[in-house]
């Protein structure tokens, strides 16, 4: 059995990317998207500026990578749920309690609404496809995505997340 001689480099690359994305999310949650810089991202992520620029060309590319990572995380959470109601509840709770989204609601609303209105972006189609798999219906997937987007701006409590998920699915099946 031959081991990949580049495996340690790949592991280091992934670990560095994870640190950068975690640092970026932390900065969005504390200082906001508009006020953070590449220098702050590097410092918060505990990587050199050169390393940061080796991974990402600018702040926008870091933020896009963070959005892609967060969408993939949400898709994994939904796929791990035993049924559609649990999946929607878990997604609702994740969105409603996210500290970066909470900060953006009050400090970066223009950026947040711009991102939420980019319906043509691949991330939205990925989320819709996942929701269609979970709910078994494209119409229900579209409705669920709109419901979840609404929670970015108007979060629900965990109890309301469950209740609304149940109502959404039960009313759609009538």
Q: Are 156 and 96 in contact (CB under 8 A)?
A: yes
Measured CA to CA, the distance from residue 121 to residue 71 in angstroms comes to 12
Identify the residue whose tokens are 């953070």: 36
| Helix, strand or coil, per DSSP, at residue 121 | coil
- What was the pLDDT predicted at 118? 81
Measured between alpha carbons, how far is 174 from 162 in angstroms, rounded to an integer?
A: 19
Tokens read off for 23 = 């640092």
CA dist 22 and 42 (Å) reads 11
Tokens of 45: 């992520």
Q: Is the Cβ–Cβ distance between 75 and 128 less than 8 Å?
A: no
In the numeric block, the tokens 């035993």 are attached to 82
- Contact between 51 and 29 (Cβ < 8 Å): no
Look at residue 53 in the predicted model and tell me its pLDDT. Answer: 96
Residues 60 and 112: their CA atoms lie apart, in Å, by 13
The pair of three-digit structure tokens given for residue 163, joined into one six-digit string: 């209740």
Return the pLDDT at 4: 66
Closest CA to 106 of 45, 165, 160, 31: 31
With 0.95 as the threshold, say if the pTM is over it: no
The segments of the chain whose pLDDT lies below 50 read: 1, 174
Domains of the chain are: 7-172 (1.10.357.10)
């Amino acid at each position: 059995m031959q081991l990949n001689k580049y495996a340690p480099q790949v592991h280091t690359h992934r670990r560095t990317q994870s640190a950068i994305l975690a640092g970026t999310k932390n900065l969005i949650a504390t200082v906001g998207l508009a006020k953070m810089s590449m220098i702050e991202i590097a410092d918060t992520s505990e990587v050199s500026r050169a390393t940061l620029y080796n991974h990402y060309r600018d702040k926008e590319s870091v933020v896009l990578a963070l959005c892609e990572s967060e969408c993939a995380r949400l898709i994994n959470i939904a796929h791990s749920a035993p049924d559609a109601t649990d999946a929607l509840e878990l997604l609702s709770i994740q969105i409603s309690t996210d500290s970066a989204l909470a900060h953006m609601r009050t400090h970066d609303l223009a950026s947040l609404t711009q991102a939420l209105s980019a319906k043509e972006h691949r991330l939205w189609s990925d989320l819709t496809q996942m929701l269609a798999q979970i709910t078994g219906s494209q119409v229900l997937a579209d409705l669920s995505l709109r419901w979840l987007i609404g929670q970015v701006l108007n979060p629900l409590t965990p109890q309301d997340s469950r209740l609304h998920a149940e109502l959404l699915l039960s009313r759609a099946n009538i």
